[in-house]
Amino acid sequence: MIQSRELKLLLSGDAMLGRKVNEVIHQTGPSYPLEPLTPLTRAADLFFTNLECAISPQDKIYSGRPKAFYLRADPVAAETLSNADVDLVSLANNHALDANFAGLLDTLAILDKAGIRHVGAGEDLAEASRPVRFEVKGMKIGVLAYCDHQPDFAAGVHRPDIRYVDLADSATLDLLFKEVADLAAQVDHVVVAFHWLPNWISHIPPFYRSLARDLVSSGARLIWGHSPHHFQGVEWIDQSLVIYSSGGLVDDYALEPNFRNDRELLFQVTLSPLGVEQITVFPIELDFARTYPTRTEAREWIIWRLKQMCAEVGSRVETDGKWVEILPMEVPVELEKE
């Protein structure tokens, strides 16, 4: 008898460890921001997050076009990630270069020293485009990471930066699909981390749903979206999955009352050799520089909002104990036309 194999992949949204979070880490120790979640994060076979800041001892800012916010953490922040057993961070985002080019190189070196894999940024375009591979429980997982905004952060042939993609350019999209297809031919499951969509977006635009389907057709098993500071719906496409936005993990941000960016989710995806078998989510609350499992009122609001978001992309939500399961609708929801 062949024993079934299943892998638990835990995904979060943005981990912002700079600014006031950085100060709190120095005051309370590196484990403080994520310690309440460690029973969950350490239980996963793999735990991925989007690192929404540079990690560098150099208190510098990006030398290019001015930005509204610069997010940088001191090197001790890598211990915050290690203590939570983070296996990989996506760096393809609009804050990886906030401590300038030297700060990005610091980030890469500090993560390497901490044993945390990274994807989506590098010393040049080739490194920023290079996938990361894991082999866990006999399954080969490949991860690619992209960002659809901050074009001045785009990596070049001899320029350190992120893997930026211009979604309005057909040649860029063709290359994107080819990279996914090439990796899919080498591994069992491809995870595409995508920093996309505007902040405070109420509905997923049809273009992004079509893009997600094209990525799945190219070989993506799981699309892990982030960038909006709140969670969005989850769509099943056969035995593949699209998490349109995984929201936030830890930060010092102001509260947006309509979207409640202090009420978020951890996403646990169960993979087998055949594909995605299950997705469950765990409601969390983001306090100032510290995150913990939800209380009753927040949990009820999160489930109510999640049901709304998932229904729009053809999924339904069922509660089962502390975890919440997302299932496909019996009758799929058709894509809207532009």
Strand partners, 280: 268, 325
> Which tens digits make up the pLDDT trace of 130-175?
999 999 999 999 999 999 999 999 988 888 999 999 999 999 999 9
Cα separations in angstroms, 52 against 151, 208, 211, 227? 17, 22, 24, 9
> Which tens digits make up the pLDDT trace of 179-230?
999 999 999 999 999 999 999 999 999 999 999 999 999 999 999 999 999 9
Q: How far apart are CA 256 and CA 254, in angstroms?
A: 7
What was the pLDDT predicted at 331? 56
Residue 334, both tokens: 């058709």
CATH level 2 (architecture), domain 7-319: 4-Layer Sandwich (3.60)
Positions of the chain with pLDDT lower than 50, given as ranges: 1-2, 337-338
What was the pLDDT predicted at 337? 46
Q: What is the three-state SS of the chain?
A: CCCCCCEEEEEEEEECCCHHHHHHHHHHCCCCCCHHHHHHHCCCCEEEEEECCEECCCCCCCCCCCCCCCCEECCCHHHHHHHCCCCEEECCCCCCCCCHHHHHHHHHHHHHHHCCEEECEECCHHHHHCCEEEEECCEEEEEEEEECCCHHHECECCECEECECCCCCHHHHHHHHHHHHHHHCCCCEEEEEEECCCCCCCCCCHHHHHHHHHHHHHCEEEEEEECCCCECCEEEECCEEEECCECEEECCCCCCCCCCCCEEEEEEEEEECCEEEEEEEEEEEEECCEEEECCHHHHHHHHHHHHHHHHCCCEEEEEECCEEEEEECCCCCCCCCC
Q: How far apart are CA 251 and CA 229, in angstroms?
A: 10
Residue 227: what are its φ and ψ, rounded to 5°? 130, -55
What was the pLDDT predicted at 243? 98
What was the pLDDT predicted at 108? 98
What was the pLDDT predicted at 155? 83
What was the pLDDT predicted at 1? 35
What are the extents of the domains in the chain?
7-319
Q: Can you list the pairs that 62-70 forms with residues at least 24 positions away whose Cβ atoms lie under 8 Å?
A: 62/97, 62/98, 62/99, 62/100, 63/100, 63/101, 64/97, 64/152, 65/152, 67/98, 69/95, 69/98, 70/18, 70/95, 70/98, 70/99
What was the pLDDT predicted at 332? 52
Sequence-distant (≥ 6) Cβ neighbours of residue 300 within 8 angstroms = none
What was the pLDDT predicted at 320? 77
Sequence-distant (≥ 6) Cβ neighbours of residue 15 within 8 angstroms = 49, 50, 51, 52, 53, 81, 86, 89, 249, 250, 251
